[in-house]
Structure 1
Amino acid sequence: MFDGLWHGIFGGLFGPGIAQWMNRFKYWVIFLTGMAGTYIGLYVAGIYTKGLKIATQIMLKNIIAPDLILVSVGIGLLMLFVAFVGVLGTSKKSSEDDKNDS
């Protein structure tokens, strides 16, 4: 019951603003930011759990591991998809508003 309420509040308040903000960037920048953010997030999580020295050793050893590369590519593609769909939704909504104003 409350899912529709929360969806309306957060989608209506934050959705158009985030979509317009992400529209400023090129798609390859969003993709690379998602990939780099994955590596940075895992490194920070390793520092928090294991300490700086061990986290650095683990990250350097696994930086080109295929599973880590695929996970980071997947998260980058997910961010790219969200940005693309957000841009499509914003342009469609603004064109409908223009038609209603005429």
Structure 2
Amino acid sequence: MARRLPIPWLLFAAFCLASAGPVFRSPCELLPVGTGHPVQATSRSFTVLSGCASRGTAGLPQEVHIINLRGRLPEGPGNAPPESIYPAVGNPSTA
């Protein structure tokens, strides 16, 4: 029986070892988010008094989470986000 050359097997093994391992450039690369990114978010914290929009019991502490996702609007006086949110009943400055 004729002896086969080991070169094809060595090339196959080298190819398998060369193709295994981490990919140097991932298709899901994280890039920094700048002002041109289509989704912008801000984080604000508010202290809510009793009688707030959550309709919670006045004796129990309640949390209100508001998430607002929207596209980027052109800058202008009418497109500014609200500076504060007041309870549905009453004004916090009079409480």
Structure with a larger share of its residues in helix: 1
Same fold (TM over 0.5): no
TM-score norm. by structure 1 comes to: 0.23
Q: Which has the higher contact order (CA 8 A, sep 6+)?
A: 1
TM-score (norm 2): 0.24
